[in-house]
Amino acid sequence: MIDYAKKEFRESWFRDSVLGDISFDNFKRKEENPIYTGNKRDGYFWPVNLFLFKDPKSYFLYLYIGCYGLYTKGYLPVGPCRLMRSKDGGIVSAPNGRVITFVKRSFKDFTLKAKIRSNKNVKIFWNYKGPLGADSLGADASLHSLVLTDFTILELEKNGWKLSQIDKEGKEFLIDKDESFTIQINVSQPIFVNITHKEGGTEIVINKKKIWTGKVPSTDGNIGLLAEKGVVYYIDEFVVFGEGEETTKFLLPGEGIRGAGNIKRVHKWELVKEDDFKFGFGYLNKKKGAMIKWNYLGKGFKLYSPLRPEFGTFDLFLDGKLLRTINLKGKRTRSQKIFESKVPYGYQAVVQINRNGIMPCDTLEYTL
């Protein structure tokens, strides 16, 4: 955390290389953080303690920490207040299986500056456009193989590095590698990573040493980390500079079944592997009242499904409110968008309840 209100940081606060000239007016207040407002005559207001700002340009979070004293009409600042910016990442742990984490926004041209400690290796990816979901419906599930598709990945080992492109089917294409490269990887010594990726080329710098320049596919996508089983990342810094854009993700069919949270219902579903479904597989259930539940944190969503003569109708709910009754009965048709809704950012629960006929479970696409 950096206290940008301190005298020694004042210049960087007001002349930040990314933010430029800024003030409280540049920030978007998170809805759950209220402000205390004075009367109309005084016309003053101030943030409540631990008030969070989010800069719309860099997407850093800034934390207002005030020193308050009790006053008859509320709390008033009685001491120095601070404004803190967090660039910290945290910990990514994969004790039982592979784990991915990524920046929500999509970037085409960017500069990534990271400081990471690891117990084994470091794997950083970008241009990521894969779907999300598990490989089974049980508690022993791991990442589905389709999750690790459609991205560029840099793998750092103690004795060498490798840069690869993974296509939409999960096939790996080696771009370059260097087995003579050596680096210290442990939990006490961070690795400094600087990746600049533009349409004209990509530059990779590790511990202030340029290890590679060249061209890799330049498409928009998410930037993140892949942790293999047994790997722990201690992320001291993970900062992306660039014009990020809003992005969407698809949830694989199993996420709708697992989201219902009832193992007895899970056993009623039939797994089918057919091209009619968006990702080549899906689930079918002919029981009346069968439920699909998609849980996500984000904004609007699009629901997909194939059509067939034997399919029936289902009720669609959002957060307990009935949106529409949808009929999937028709000429056999491949997966298509059957419903779309725009909703404010937050935790969403999209539920499908079967009324009659067979209800398929295909996929849901949501905006992060």
pLDDT tens track for 227-243 = 999 999 988 888 898 88
pTM of the model: 0.76
Question: 104 with 187, same domain?
Answer: yes
Q: Are 91 and 226 in contact (CB under 8 A)?
A: no
Residue 191's pLDDT band (cuts 50, 70, 90)? very high
Question: 79 with 95, same domain?
Answer: no
Q: Is the pLDDT of residue 338 over 70?
A: yes
Question: 154 with 277, same domain?
Answer: no
Mean pLDDT, the chain, rounded, equals 80
Question: 229 with 115, same domain?
Answer: yes
Question: 155 with 290, same domain?
Answer: no
Q: By three-state DSSP, how is residue 80 classified?
A: coil
In the chain, the N- to C-terminal Cα span, in Å, equals 26
Question: 274 with 159, same domain?
Answer: no
Q: What is the pLDDT of residue 340?
A: 97
Q: Is the pLDDT of residue 135 over 80?
A: yes
Q: What is the pLDDT of residue 12?
A: 43
Q: Is the pLDDT of residue 81 over 70?
A: no
Q: What is the pLDDT of residue 332?
A: 96
Q: Are 321 and 255 in contact (CB under 8 A)?
A: no
Q: Determine if residue 214 is left, alpha or beta; phi over 0 gives left, psi from -120 to 50 gives alpha, anything else beta.
A: left
Q: Is the pLDDT of residue 249 over 50?
A: yes
Q: Which is more confident, 25 or 326? A: 326
Q: Which is more confident, 206 or 72? A: 206
CATH number of domain containing 320:
2.60.120.260
Length of the chain: 368
CATH number of domain containing 170:
2.60.120.560
Question: 313 with 274, same domain?
Answer: yes
Q: Are 61 and 52 in contact (CB under 8 A)?
A: yes
Number of domains in the chain: 3
**What percent of the chain stands above pLDDT 70?**
74
Question: 196 with 208, same domain?
Answer: yes
Question: 305 with 332, same domain?
Answer: yes
Domain that holds residue 190: 90-245
Contacts of 139 (CB under 8 A, 6+ apart): none
Residue 5's pLDDT band (cuts 50, 70, 90)? very low
Specify the residue for token string 């260097």. Answer: 178
Question: 156 with 208, same domain?
Answer: yes
Q: Is the pLDDT of residue 26 over 50?
A: no
Q: What is the pLDDT of residue 200?
A: 79
Q: Give the domain-ending residue among 50, 66, 86.
A: 86
Q: Is the pLDDT of residue 20 over 60?
A: no
Question: Two tokens at 229?
Answer: 């089983």
Question: 99 with 68, same domain?
Answer: no
Question: 316 with 200, same domain?
Answer: no
